[in-house]
Amino acid sequence: MSPKALDYESLNENVKKVQYAVRGELYLRASELQNEGKKIIFTNVGNPHALGQKPLTFPRQVVALCQAPFLLDDPNVGLLFPADAIAKAKHYLSLTSGGLGAYSDSRGLPGIRKEVAEFIERRDGYPSDPELIFLTDGASKGVMQILNTIIRGAGDGILVPVPQYPLYSAAISLFGGSLVPYYLEETANWGLDINDLRQSVAVARSNGITVRAMVIINPGNPTGQCLSEANLREILRYCYQENLVLLGDEVYQQNIYQDERPFVSARKVLMGMGPPISKEVQLVSFHTVSKGYWGECGQRGGYFEMTNIPPKTVDEIYKVASVSLSPNVPAQIFMGLMVNPPKPGDISYQQFVRESKGIIESLRRRARMMTDGFNSCRNVVCNFTEGAMYSFPQIRLPPRAIEAAKRAGKVPDVFYCLKLLEATGISTVPGSGFGQKEGVFHLRTTILPAEEDMPEIMTSFKKFNDEFMEQYEDHRGYSRM
Amino acid sequence: MSPKALDYESLNENVKKVQYAVRGELYLRASELQNEGKKIIFTNVGNPHALGQKPLTFPRQVVALCQAPFLLDDPNVGLLFPADAIAKAKHYLSLTSGGLGAYSDSRGLPGIRKEVAEFIERRDGYPSDPELIFLTDGASKGVMQILNTIIRGAGDGILVPVPQYPLYSAAISLFGGSLVPYYLEETANWGLDINDLRQSVAVARSNGITVRAMVIINPGNPTGQCLSEANLREILRYCYQENLVLLGDEVYQQNIYQDERPFVSARKVLMGMGPPISKEVQLVSFHTVSKGYWGECGQRGGYFEMTNIPPKTVDEIYKVASVSLSPNVPAQIFMGLMVNPPKPGDISYQQFVRESKGIIESLRRRARMMTDGFNSCRNVVCNFTEGAMYSFPQIRLPPRAIEAAKRAGKVPDVFYCLKLLEATGISTVPGSGFGQKEGVFHLRTTILPAEEDMPEIMTSFKKFNDEFMEQYEDHRGYSRM
């Protein structure tokens, strides 16, 4: 009998080509070890609540009330919920038609899209149109929809930074397009060099690829750098010259751990450049409730905002969004709350500020502890995490370790990360899952373990690493560089 | 300058080909009219809460507590929540790792997948494996993922019933496959004739299409019929003979409005057929929290269960699910509660039963009121809604109405539905959005308007319809048939 449609050999080849290391071999092995009773520290994915971060109280109160609207009529509701949470719940319920159980418009609730537009205007100083903002089940879903809209086939190329967050490579594979890598420069704090970018585009074109869009991740994942305004201007000018759509992954915009380079949105820079560039460059910007000091990953909420996208295209994107009816409504409310948090004078304001500052300041300290910890290890060098949630140290594997990996049938950084996992329970993602230059090896870890656990984790990492290096180093002369 | 990547003319052609009438021209016009202040009755989409259906209290209490876990430590919690809701919330929180704010495994929380498997076993009498159950953001997302896994290109055909729910046509267009229609027979209460099915497959094959899968919607959408066990056996035997994956859309399994043909799952029938068929036919079955007496559409929760799918394929499906990290966690808990509702003796049992029976019995009365209402109208004939949430009357348009539609540049049933909308505010979906035989016209409406509003809606419909017919009928001899 010939193979069936869901036998492996007859599946859609694009599905098979997808790679997603964040939940790949290392994650699967870590899950196995956990099932066997080993204590695992999951730093493979930016999932703060899974590592003990507490949710912000106020938004949870509001969404709980929206889920249980009958409580709003209960005379005892004030014993469990503050008055401003009650008022906010009523406000958000009034924006729905039928509460959280009703599908919203496929673009999300109009009232919340308006709140998002107002947030963008406050942030950037330029008005934003709610009709060009679509709410999504997390940013990833939005990125996938836009890439699916752009990619027509293998001849369409998407510029993606390397190292990159593998959502991009995975989605491009799934939709049958071509990833055109541009390399970030590790020695320049993961900066982007426009000349390298030009080079990448030239190579792709000589291979018959039509380069159609460019992805930036700012702050960077896994690399943690913040793009400067000057760099963003260069990028936008380049997109204008080369007729590229810019996809701005800005999900870490609240996660900034230094003061020299604050977050600047691509849209703000674009608007500031004036015509013709500000009127011509097509930009789609992504945001989420999963990151920042919210970390509400499990709720799956996000949005994208479109700039300079023609109405007929917006209609097409709306139509395709309609096929899955609507993003989940509770997370839309989280998004509303995120862009419109308690204000000075509100009952919950002090608590909200205390909780959010506590999280972001601790993340800043953890970013520093982790960078310093890695840099204290033998054959490990690591740029400081300026933003986002990750540390991406370079692991300088001795030739004998590389040979041992080859004998074990593993990519060298996978080999290293598996040994790390078995020895310490620390579950990371090998740099090869994000892309890296030939012969250079990294790992990605989140900076999310609880602050009080951090010293022990870094000690445990250092012990493993330094013993690993001791074991594999060629004592006849391999130097640390 | 050449078109940009997000200009309409350069978009992915598959995106442009997608059609989704449920939120198409009629819906957009209805939204416009609503914005202009007209009262609109949205019966275009099965969205019960939007039409006033109240959520079931118990599951909302549980999920509210899961959103606000700090309430569990509050001495006053018992004033607002019953003890069994508190216990259930603790139970579900214990199944998460980090509460609702943490990504779950990409297949959904293992503990809830186990509850789903137990539900399937109780329902069907055959064990089910939690490892083959994936939770999803609503059933649509699951259907789309499976179709994307199967479809390799335009040469791959998917058998879809016509009339069909346009999710299928839309997803097949989006993934670049070919829809192979098989017609349901209106005069046989929308039954499926295996000989017609054979005929459809033969035609597709003669056009070079490899038919790879078959979709059934049971109970039917938009057609409302329930498949008999005998019919399901025929279908499964056919899938076995022809090497087809069966996709069983069973989202309306709780929505049954007669006693002669209860819901029987495709999986139960398959298992009962014994080997080789029970071991060979690949089946994926879909369910949701959006329908039934829950109607929790806005939460976006669902699952699919795979039968006879090889582990390597399951791994691929898992990998692709991982790219968007996890389905939303609150809706996973709704799914757990749906498959594991309060039991006799629980504090909330009586109220839960009263609420759910109230909804389902009212739907049964509404199904009857709507069918009878349509059948009392001039040139309208309508099968009884045995199940699901829709009525799909045939509208026998007089030739002069068809000519008037052509002059207005509209498909005849779109013309009729637009006139209905303008006259009455009733927002339906033209039958052409679901597919119908040449020269035959329908509309789809949900049976969801509040029971007390139903007489007025049907009176208003009848008045419009009968006047429409009066206006367009050829009084020289067009007969009612």
| A449 at B interface, C-beta within 8 A | no
Contact between A117 and A128 (Cβ < 8 Å) = yes
- How many DSSP H helices and E strands does chain A contain? 18, 15
- Computed over every residue of chain B, the mean pLDDT equals 94
Q: Side-chain half-sphere of B228: how many Cα atoms within 13 Å?
A: 10
User: Which residues on A lie below 8 Å from B141 (Cβ)?
Assistant: 324
Q: Outline where B36-138 has alpha helix (H).
A: 57-67, 77-80, 83-95, 110-124
* Domain finish residue from B304, B339, B374: B339
Q: Distance between CA B129 and CA B116 in Å, rounded?
A: 9
A259 and A291 assigned to the same domain: yes
* Domain finish residue from A316, A339, A362: A339
Per-residue pLDDT tens for A23-76? 678 888 998 999 999 999 988 888 999 989 999 999 999 999 999 999 999 999
B323 and B371 assigned to the same domain: no
A135 and A240 assigned to the same domain: yes
Instruction: Count the residues in chain A.
Output: 481
A147 and A244 assigned to the same domain: yes
Q: Outline where B243-382 has alpha helix (H).
A: 266-273, 277-280, 311-323, 329-339, 349-375
Residue A283 located in a structural domain: yes
Residue A322 located in a structural domain: yes
Per-residue pLDDT tens for A102-134? 999 999 999 999 999 999 999 999 999 999 999
Is B243 within 8 Å of A2 when comparing Cβ atoms?
A: yes
Residue A101: pLDDT over 60: yes
Residue A77 located in a structural domain: no
Residue B449: pLDDT over 70: yes
Residue A227: pLDDT over 90: yes
Question: How close are the terminal C-alpha atoms of chain A, in Å?
Answer: 59
Instruction: Taking each helix axis as running N to C, give the angle between helix B229-242 and helix B266-273, from 0 to 180 degrees, rounded to the nearest 10.
Output: 70
Instruction: Compare all CA atoms of chain A with the CA of B324 and give the residue at the minimum distance.
Output: A140
Q: Distance between CA A22 and CA A46 in Å, rounded?
A: 10
Residue A197: pLDDT over 60: yes
- Top pLDDT among B433 and B418 is at B418
Partners of residue B430 on adjacent β-strands: B443
Q: What letter would DSSP give residue A13?
A: H
Q: What is the mean pLDDT of residues B48-66?
A: 96
Contacts of B122 (CB under 8 A, 6+ apart): none
A313 and A174 assigned to the same domain: yes
Is A323 within 8 Å of B18 when comparing Cβ atoms?
A: yes
* Residue of A161, A122, A64 whose CA lies nearest to A267: A122
Q: Distance between CA B287 and CA B245 in Å, rounded?
A: 17
Per-residue pLDDT tens for B179-191? 999 999 999 999 8
Residue A320 located in a structural domain: yes
Q: Distance between CA B462 and CA B450 in Å, rounded?
A: 18
- Output the domain CATH number for residue B442: 3.90.1150.10
User: Which residues on A lie below 8 Å from B328 (Cβ)?
Assistant: 137, 298-300, 328, 330-331
- Structural domain count, chain A: 2
Please report the pLDDT score of residue A182 as a whole number: 95
Residue B201 located in a structural domain: yes
What torsion do the CA atoms of B83, A63, B318, B339 make, to the nearest 10 degrees? Answer: 30
Per-residue pLDDT tens for A415-454? 999 999 999 999 999 999 898 888 999 999 999 999 999 9
Please report the pLDDT score of residue B475 as a whole number: 64
Per-residue pLDDT tens for A456-474? 999 999 999 999 999 998 7
Is B297 within 8 Å of A12 when comparing Cβ atoms?
A: no
Q: Side-chain half-sphere of A238: how many Cα atoms within 13 Å?
A: 24
Partners of residue B306 on adjacent β-strands: B284
Contact between B51 and A97 (Cβ < 8 Å) = no
Is B13 within 8 Å of A243 when comparing Cβ atoms?
A: no
Token digits of residue B97: 């790792």
User: Which residues on B lie below 8 Å from A330 (Cβ)?
Assistant: 67, 298-299, 328, 330
Reported as a pLDDT band with limits 50, 70 and 90, residue B481 is very low
Q: Distance between CA A283 and CA A446 in Å, rounded?
A: 28
Q: Distance between CA B190 and CA B124 in Å, rounded?
A: 25
User: Which CA distances in Å does A381 have to A317, A377, A431, A444, B168?
Assistant: 43, 8, 14, 13, 51
Beta-strand ranges (E) seen in B210-339 are 210-217, 245-249, 283-288, 302-307
Residue A289, φ and ψ in degrees, nearest 5: -95, 0
Q: Distance between CA B85 and CA B63 in Å, rounded?
A: 9
Per-residue pLDDT tens for A314-359? 999 999 999 989 999 999 999 999 999 999 999 999 999 999 999 9
Is B310 within 8 Å of A100 when comparing Cβ atoms?
A: no
Please report the pLDDT score of residue A347 as a whole number: 98
Contacts of B35 (CB under 8 A, 6+ apart): none
Instruction: Count the residues in chain B.
Output: 481
| A74 at B interface, C-beta within 8 A | yes
Chain A closest-CA separation from residue B77 CA (Å): 7
Single-letter code of the amino acid located at A417: C
Which of B205, B325, B329, B337 is the best residue to mutate to test the A interface, defined by the most A CB atoms within 10 Å of its own CB? B325
Q: Is the dihedral of CA A130, A131, A136, A141 positive or negative?
A: negative
Q: Which of residues 25-64 of A touch B (CB under 8 A)?
A: 31, 45, 47-53, 55, 57, 60-61, 63-64
B332 and B291 assigned to the same domain: yes
Tell me what percent of the residues of chain A surpass a pLDDT of 70.
98
* Residue of A267, A223, A236 whose CA lies nearest to A386: A223
| A351 at B interface, C-beta within 8 A | no
Residue with tokens 């199944």: B95
| B75 at A interface, C-beta within 8 A | no
Contact between A299 and B328 (Cβ < 8 Å) = yes
Token digits of residue B104: 């779950």
Single-letter code of the amino acid located at B4: K
- Output the domain CATH number for residue A220: 3.40.640.10
B397 and B253 assigned to the same domain: no
Q: Is the dihedral of CA A405, A410, A412, A413 positive or negative?
A: negative
Residue B365 located in a structural domain: yes
Residue A61 located in a structural domain: no
Tell me what percent of the residues of chain B surpass a pLDDT of 70.
98
Q: Please tell me whether residue B401 adopts helix, strand or coil conformation.
A: helix
Residue A250: pLDDT over 50: yes
User: Which residues on B lie below 8 Å from A16 (Cβ)?
Assistant: 316
A236 and A158 assigned to the same domain: yes
B298-322: b or e for each residue (b if 16 or more CB lie within 10 Å)? bbbbbbbbbbbbbeebbebbbbbbb
Q: Which of residues 195-254 of A touch B (CB under 8 A)?
A: 212-213, 243-245
Please report the pLDDT score of residue B480 as a whole number: 45
Contact between B30 and B47 (Cβ < 8 Å) = no
Chain B closest-CA separation from residue A163 CA (Å): 17
B216 and B272 assigned to the same domain: yes
Token digits of residue A92: 């958000």
Please report the pLDDT score of residue B1 as a whole number: 64
Please report the pLDDT score of residue B476 as a whole number: 56
What range does the domain containing B409 cover?
8-39+353-472
* Domain finish residue from A312, A339, A366: A339
ipTM attached to this prediction: 0.94
B249 and B128 assigned to the same domain: yes
B256 and B362 assigned to the same domain: no
Per-residue pLDDT tens for B336-355? 999 999 999 999 999 999 99
Residue A132 located in a structural domain: yes
Please report the pLDDT score of residue A479 as a whole number: 46
Contact between A223 and A257 (Cβ < 8 Å) = no
Please report the pLDDT score of residue A245 as a whole number: 98
A181 and A104 assigned to the same domain: yes
Q: Distance between CA A352 and CA A346 in Å, rounded?
A: 10
Contacts of B381 (CB under 8 A, 6+ apart): B374, B375, B393, B394, B396
- Computed over every residue of chain A, the mean pLDDT equals 94
